[in-house]
Amino acid sequence: MNYFGDEIEVFNARKWNWQTFKSTEGYPVADNLLDWVIGQERALAECYLCLEEWVHKLKYLEKEKWYDAWKDPDMEKPNATKTAPPGPYLLLLGDPGTGKSLIGRALAVHLTELYRAHKIQLKDVVCWQNNLIPSEPKISCHPASEGKKIIFKEKLKATKKLFLQKVGIKALTYMMITVACIFMFAGFYYLWGQKVQWDTNAMGAFGPIQETYGGDFTKYVLDSFIQIGTTTFLPAGMMLMFLILVVVMGRFGIMGGAKGVGGAKATTVPKLIVDNTKKVAPFIDATGHGSAQLFGSIAWDPLQTGGLGTPEHQRVSAGDTHRAHLGILYIDEIKNLKPTEAVTLLTVLEDGQLPVTLRSRWDEGNTAAMAVSTEPVPCMCFLVGAGNFDSIGQLHPALMDRIYGYGKVVRMNNDMQNIVENRRKYVQFIAQEAHRFHLLPFSRGACEEIIDEGRRRSNKRDGLTTRFRPMISIVKTAAVLAMIEKCKIVDKRHVKEAIENHCKTIQKQILENQISERGKLLNIRPEGAKLGQIYGLAVVSDPYSSEMTGNVLTVKGFLEKCDNSRNNNHQKGYYKVTGIAKGEKERFITDSVAKVRSVILQKYGVDIAQDFFTHIDFAQAYGVDGPSAGVTMTILLCSLIEGKPIMQDVAVTGEINVGVDGEIPVTAVSGLHEKIKAAEAWGFRKVVIPAANYKHSIDPSDYDIEVVAGGTLEDYLRECGISQDTRRGSRRMDLGK
């Protein structure tokens, strides 16, 4: 096979020779994330179409001056009935690892380019204090990067005001300290004068001072202090007490601009709640987020807000929907949205605006934050939802209806054609991951082995899987194995070792371990030939991840005519199958059991439920289900009727069907790769599978076991060693009545 062709291709301004390249070293990896999306051309085309509609909508809104209502926080905001038209939205459905989140990120990059081309501006959102009704903070919207300038300007004004307050308070403080000191000095100076008068025994109003006070200096000083203190010490003390009061008031935030209880600042500076300074269309991954994260909330806990003194507008936190305004809001597993969250999201999608109020698991309590609700905040986001195919039935019906009506539901491809162009894209994928994780370059042979693994995982001979996330693990592990060996390049053997030994999911490891432990108790011997025993192939699936691993089933049978001498001639026959799923768990096995009865009647003219005592047992198996058991049971009964043994080194799988035009067809089943690997691990020589599966999915070179196609029951009988001669006269068992 010519894996990559022989052209010289030019991309990213560099040449790349597909015929002669030896490794991915030097591969021109693109910077644009859209170029990283592989195998999803249809999905990308639908995304581009939606983005064009989105840009047209935004241009119309700018023409209608929709944002003018948010320029000034004091202006009245538009009513919900006059908001922007809804849509478009995207819902990407597909298996994990097919690139849904990568498409979301790539769309944000492409959206930035479209905004620049059409001169559409991103917006910053600022939350302001409402002086009239503090519990209803005001909102303004400004061109990107203007928000920080507004905050800086308001902070500067507040700082100037605070500075002037502090300067005024300090000036008053110093002046009062000076005056108090003067009064204190005057008081002490006057007392000193009184002491001088006492010492000189100066004449007072009633004669010599000492004689007047009877020589008691203490009484004289106290009397003088009372007279002097009323005019000196008392005013000075009052001034000092006032200064102490001012300091205490400032510490507890009573003075403007000072700290309040718990250290919070009672500031009037607005808060920037949405910042688009980078001028790049935002990509917000809201997967798994609750109501508070999705739609914003009001902080109420002092430990969250910084203190009880934090004003209402400073406690507002925008949600994902607000931060994704004019950008991409990506929600994976969108089916997991709670009903209340889905309904609120409907409001966002319909109105393009949503107030911020208290939203949390505590929103049923009694807190002051419950009374706080902002004006409508713009949140016109481009919703990109993602999920598996079961999301269609589990998504909120009203939300699903909006997506169908105003957006698009896009199916992600699980595989792409195995052609030269797409094999080249696999090389691109390998080079991208090596560049992203700073790995060694991969050799040409290593790239081919990864492509082969992609083909095997697609379950199509002419397909390549587009579930690239599991493939990333192979790329990284192979590179690490090469680095451990101190190689300069990742070779084919490193990739093989990574695939076979290191890159199995935990579910697959658990399943393989369980089957291995059970295998020690099973008597599976793929050798010789036996009558009444055959080996069938099945798969075991993990209920959560859908991971599968192969399993070998030992199927045994007993068949005896009703008119046997040891039985009552009047006793009717019976048809029992044991070891299969029962009750609610059975889905397909009951149909297979019924088909086997009809096929045997069609082929041999006997009813195994009336003419025979028939018992088929899936030995040591519990709850076997699925259509692939049909051909196994049919071959087993044919062997018993023919009286010819079945080759034990041959394992089979396939769905039996009622014959038409003399042929009994065997049709396709699932999990072929896992089944063949299980037979290979147990040492079987040959596996017989439906011809449709062989043509569609299987490359025999992938396996060390012989893989044979069978289109009809006769093909299967021949491969299992049972004679092609199935005429009634040649059978050992007497089928006569």
Active site residues: 628, 675
Tokens at 355, concatenated? 């107030």
**Element of type H or E holding 116:** helix 100-118
Query: Nearest-CA neighbor of 553 among 686, 679, 683, 714?
Result: 679
Cα–Cα distance between 735 and 605 in angstroms, integer? Answer: 9
Q: DSSP label at 662?
A: T
**Element of type H or E holding 365:** none
Residue pointed to by tokens 């042929």? 663
**Element of type H or E holding 426:** helix 420-436
- Tell whether the torsion through CA atoms of 330, 332, 335 and 338 is positive or negative: negative
Instruction: Spell out the residues 6+ positions from residue 540 whose beta carbon is closer than 8 angstroms to its own.
Output: 511, 514, 515, 548, 549, 550, 551
Cα–Cα distance between 395 and 91 in angstroms, integer? Answer: 11
| Residue 93 bridge partners (DSSP) | 387, 411
Tokens at 449, concatenated? 């082995």
Cα–Cα distance between 23 and 158 in angstroms, integer? Answer: 62
316 CA to centre of own chain: 27
Contacts made by residues 42-49, CB under 8 angstroms, sequence distance 24+: 42/410, 42/411, 42/413, 43/92, 43/103, 43/410, 43/411, 43/412, 43/413, 44/103, 46/90, 46/408, 46/410, 47/90, 47/103, 47/107, 47/410, 48/110, 49/408
Q: Is 438 left (phi over 0), alpha (psi -120 to 50) or beta?
A: left
Tokens at 708, concatenated? 């044979």
Tokens at 720, concatenated? 């299992």
What b-and-e string marks burial along 59-82, b requiring 16 or more CB atoms within 10 Å of the CB? eebeeeebbebbeebeeebbeeee
Asked if residues 104 and 423 have their Cβ atoms less than 8 Å apart, the reply is no
Tokens at 514, concatenated? 């369980």
- Tell whether the torsion through CA atoms of 60, 65, 66 and 67 is positive or negative: positive
Asked if residues 140 and 126 have their Cβ atoms less than 8 Å apart, the reply is yes
Instruction: Spell out the residues 6+ positions from residue 112 whose beta carbon is closer than 8 angstroms to its own.
Output: 279, 280, 281
Tokens at 484, concatenated? 């451990």
Angle, helices 468-484 vs 444-458, to 10°: value is 150
Cα–Cα distance between 415 and 410 in angstroms, integer? Answer: 15
Cα–Cα distance between 399 and 391 in angstroms, integer? Answer: 12
Asked if residues 69 and 349 have their Cβ atoms less than 8 Å apart, the reply is no
Residue 679, number of CB atoms within 10 A of its CB: 28
Residue 190, number of CB atoms within 10 A of its CB: 18
Cα–Cα distance between 460 and 416 in angstroms, integer? Answer: 10
Instruction: Spell out the residues 6+ positions from residue 592 whose beta carbon is closer than 8 angstroms to its own.
Output: 626, 627, 629, 630, 633, 655, 656
Asked if residues 164 and 349 have their Cβ atoms less than 8 Å apart, the reply is no
* Alpha-helical segments (H) within 135-252: 146-200, 209-212, 217-229, 233-251
Cα–Cα distance between 716 and 536 in angstroms, integer? Answer: 12
